[in-house]
Structure 1
Amino acid sequence: MRVLVVGGGITGGVLALALARDGAQVTVAELRSSLGGAGHGITLQGNALKAFHAVGIYEELAQHGFSFDKLRMFRADGVQLMEMPAPPMGGDAVPPTMGALRADLAGILARHVREAGVDVRLGTTATSLDDRGDHVVATLTDGTTETFDLVAGADGIRSAVRSMIGIEAKPQPVGMGIWRVVARRPEAMDSSGVYYGGPKFKAGYTPISGELCYAFLLEENLDRSFVGEHPNGKILKEHGQGYGGIWGQVRDSLADDAIVNYQYIEAILIDGPWHRGRVVVIGDAAHACPPLIAQGAAMCAEDAVVLAEMLAGGDPVDEVLPAFHARRYPRVKMVLDNSLQLAEWEIHPDTPGADPGRIMGQTLHALCAPA
């Protein structure tokens, strides 16, 4: 089988690696100049780690990340409200949760993809896809026209492949933005923590190595000039006033010119089929959820492993793709719906019946079921 994967991020990288390990001939078209990448930290639940274990990158990632088994919830002043054990979503082979640097994950995945013999085309993407029933003719920006048995659009929330195959779904704003920063890890930080009831929607952190942590702050959508990575440490410190505990320690440790990432939070879910003929979109191209349950990367990695597994079974592509959608849709919809409910409660914390701890616990326990 010849497969074109458009996009070389977490979704595309895991899919390419899984397919190559099963014997497929895989080409990755990545518009960026590198498969690796910098960026902030990431919280990886056990089901994400299970997917990474399935494609052989977990052990190396574990040498860099920080593993833990709980989530603590605090008042804004740092007084602990509750401690929630993290369920074993990935089974016995991996820890319940791990914090890591996105750059470490991207670098490890990129190297394994190349070592697996994947044909990586950097600075390249698809410009047209001609589905002829038993194959797809793809025209790429590097000037080549090639034939593939399957094309997978793993090109993110603003997927060009999604548009090419006539799926008109667009990402929608959630009504909040997120600040992210990497900082020194206080010694007392040994798990993720979230802070409620402060002047903004929510603050939190995750340890990502022995020395570093990843901290975030959720608030309203700010002016577009803040979007991206900028030396805005001073601004984040100002916006993060009113939070104590370990989060306050992390905030106060930031330099005024610390590099901080700010993004609007958006969501998308394609309600109907994720494929047209032999072209399918997966990961954030099909479903992207707010990062309030830390399941974005997990849903993407699961998509990739499950699709590769189903293709390896030998069934025809035109049978695999609808079966893949039927298998994945209920799970990703549950995560997306619950993430959006959390966002609504965090924007409107006085909503009667609001109970973030309950919905987070229910979601994580539900995800212990196989993907």
Structure 2
Amino acid sequence: MKLLVVGAGIGGLGAAVALRQQGFDVDVVEIKQEFSVYGVGINHPANSLRALRSLGVLDETLGIGYQFRNTTFLDEQGELIVRLDSAMGGDDMPANNALSRLDLHRILIAAAERHDVKIQYGKTMRSFTDTGGEVEVVFTDGRQEAYDLVVAFDGIKSPTRHILFGPEHDAVYSGFGVFRVTLPRPDFLDGTRVYQAVGVKAGFLPLSVDSMYMFIVTPDPAHVIHRPEDFVDVLRERMAPFGSLPGEVRDSLTSSDDIVYSRISDVLLPLPWFRGRVGVLGDAAHACAPHLTQGAGMALEDAVVLAECLAADGTLAERLRAFEQRRYPRAKLVQDVSRGILESEMGITEATWGATVQGMRDHLAEQMGGIERFLDAPA
């Protein structure tokens, strides 16, 4: 089979490597003119790390990143609410490994190059025609080529999804945004720390021995546009309730800090994800809020499972349906839980604060343990 992968992000590069491992011929096109990465750090829970192991890049990823098992929840002044140890991983796999997005992208590009994957930047599909026996693709540079299958990892704003399934499945804005910034890591930060206040959340994730990143989740009306030159002032205003580590960081922010902002939107495309010989995967099919740090993991699992299913017996339609049936339940759970966490955190009021804290102490370990055990099972 000859396949076209649209998009050279985490999922697209992972798919290219996994498909080449199974012996398929793969082309990758990327609309960006050159290699670039948006964002700061990224965490890989154990299920995501298993996908990276399947791609042959686990050791390199672990060598660059920071492994940890615990998540500590605190109030806005740093008073402990509850500390959780992850139910994921085991003797052969860390529970979590965080690293910079730039480092991860470099690792995946190098893996693709080792597998002789051709990545063409500055071009994408202009149009395609599924003839039943193949997909005739016209690229933005005017070139035409035929493929047995087209797989689009073209992101939350996926043009391919829009063409295949219509505007009713476009991304839906949640009403919340997230600021992120990379900072020096203090020695005591050996896992995730989440500081909850009424109407805003601050969190910290270690990325390496020397660095961490901070994220701030906050309500944002759809009509509000934040200019990069205003990020520091906006962050200081949104972080006003915090003392402890978030307060220290807030007071030290400067205009030279590389702050990144993104809106939290989601997509959950109902099955099928393929129409004939063209389909969408990763964020194009199931983008979610970042609250389980599973976005990259879901895309990488898509990549590995797709290659496994395509290498199995059966008609192409049967193999694609098998892929969808394996992937949909996990993607739906991640989206439902992530959105539920976002809405419950942002819905805290002064009146519900006490009950919320007690509920976290009484039930959060059991709730998260069940979710993590499900995700820790084979994809």
TM-score, structure 2 normalization: 0.91
Which residue of the partner structure matches residue 369 of structure 1? Answer: 377
Question: Which residue identity does 1:370 align to in structure 2?
Answer: P
Which residue of the partner structure matches residue 279 of structure 1? Answer: 278
Identity %: 36
Where do 5+ consecutive residues of structure 1 fail to align? none
Map 1:321-332 → 2, pairs under 5 A: 321-332=320-331
In proportion to residue count, which structure has more helix? Answer: 2
Which residue of the partner structure matches residue 113 of structure 1? Answer: 112
Q: Quick check: 1:68–1:190 contact (8 Å CA) kept in 2?
A: yes
Question: Which residue identity does 1:171 align to in structure 2?
Answer: A
Name the SS of the counterpart of 1:269 in structure 2.
coil
Q: Quick check: 1:61–1:108 contact (8 Å CA) kept in 2?
A: yes
Kindly state the Cα deviation for residue 36 of structure 1 after the two structures are TM-superposed.
4.4
Q: Quick check: 2:74–2:194 contact (8 Å CA) kept in 1?
A: yes
| Whole-angstrom CA distance in 2 between matches of 1:80 and 1:158 | 39
| Whole-angstrom CA distance in 1 between matches of 2:243 and 2:302 | 38
- CA offset digits 1:208-239 (Å, max 9, x no partner): 01111010111111564316x55733432332
Matched, 1:242 2:241: yes
Matched, 1:213 2:221: no
Map 1:122-161 → 2, pairs under 5 A: 122-161=121-160
Q: Quick check: 1:230–1:261 contact (8 Å CA) kept in 2?
A: no
Kindly state the Cα deviation for residue 246 of structure 1 after the two structures are TM-superposed.
2.9
- CA offset digits 1:307-363 (Å, max 9, x no partner): 111112243321111111111111111111111111221121256986563543332
Which residue of the partner structure matches residue 195 of structure 2? Answer: 195
| Whole-angstrom CA distance in 1 between matches of 2:58 and 2:28 | 21
Q: 1:325 to 1:34 in 2, by over 3 A?
A: same
| Whole-angstrom CA distance in 2 between matches of 1:231 and 1:57 | 38
| Whole-angstrom CA distance in 2 between matches of 1:176 and 1:98 | 26
Question: Which residue identity does 2:8 align to in structure 1?
Answer: G
Which residue of the partner structure matches residue 30 of structure 1? Answer: 30
Name the SS of the counterpart of 2:267 in structure 1.
strand
Kindly state the Cα deviation for residue 131 of structure 1 after the two structures are TM-superposed.
0.8
Q: Quick check: 1:231–1:257 contact (8 Å CA) kept in 2?
A: no
Kindly state the Cα deviation for residue 143 of structure 1 after the two structures are TM-superposed.
1.8
Q: 1:150 to 1:92 in 2, by over 3 A?
A: farther
Kindly state the Cα deviation for residue 64 of structure 1 after the two structures are TM-superposed.
1.4
Kindly state the Cα deviation for residue 244 of structure 1 after the two structures are TM-superposed.
2.7
Map 1:73-84 → 2, pairs under 5 A: 73-84=73-84
Which residue of the partner structure matches residue 186 of structure 2? Answer: 186
Runs of 4+ in structure 1 over 4 Å off: 350-356
Question: Which residue identity does 1:157 align to in structure 2?
Answer: I
Q: Quick check: 2:41–2:100 contact (8 Å CA) kept in 1?
A: yes
Kindly state the Cα deviation for residue 167 of structure 1 after the two structures are TM-superposed.
4.2
Which residue of the partner structure matches residue 7 of structure 1? Answer: 7
Q: Quick check: 2:5–2:151 contact (8 Å CA) kept in 1?
A: yes
Map 1:165-176 → 2, pairs under 5 A: 165-168=164-167, 169-176=169-176
Q: Quick check: 2:199–2:348 contact (8 Å CA) kept in 1?
A: no
TM-score, structure 1 normalization: 0.93
Q: Quick check: 1:20–1:116 contact (8 Å CA) kept in 2?
A: yes
Where do 5+ consecutive residues of structure 2 fail to align? none
Map 1:331-370 → 2, pairs under 5 A: 331-350=330-349, 355=359, 357=364, 359-370=367-378
Kindly state the Cα deviation for residue 142 of structure 1 after the two structures are TM-superposed.
2.1
Kindly state the Cα deviation for residue 289 of structure 1 after the two structures are TM-superposed.
0.7
| Whole-angstrom CA distance in 2 between matches of 1:107 and 1:311 | 27
| Whole-angstrom CA distance in 1 between matches of 2:342 and 2:300 | 23
Q: 1:142 to 1:342 in 2, by over 3 A?
A: same
Kindly state the Cα deviation for residue 134 of structure 1 after the two structures are TM-superposed.
1.8
Q: Quick check: 1:182–1:212 contact (8 Å CA) kept in 2?
A: yes
Question: Which residue identity does 1:366 align to in structure 2?
Answer: F
Matched, 1:86 2:86: yes
Q: Quick check: 2:199–2:347 contact (8 Å CA) kept in 1?
A: no
Q: Quick check: 1:178–1:218 contact (8 Å CA) kept in 2?
A: yes
Name the SS of the counterpart of 1:225 in structure 2.
coil
Q: Quick check: 1:290–1:339 contact (8 Å CA) kept in 2?
A: yes
Which residue of the partner structure matches residue 296 of structure 2? Answer: 297
| Whole-angstrom CA distance in 1 between matches of 2:367 and 2:267 | 20
Name the SS of the counterpart of 2:165 in structure 1.
coil
Q: How many residue pairs are counted as aligned between the two chains?
A: 368
Question: Which residue identity does 2:12 align to in structure 1?
Answer: G
Q: Quick check: 1:40–1:102 contact (8 Å CA) kept in 2?
A: yes
| Whole-angstrom CA distance in 1 between matches of 2:129 and 2:84 | 50
Q: Quick check: 1:9–1:35 contact (8 Å CA) kept in 2?
A: no
| Whole-angstrom CA distance in 1 between matches of 2:371 and 2:207 | 23
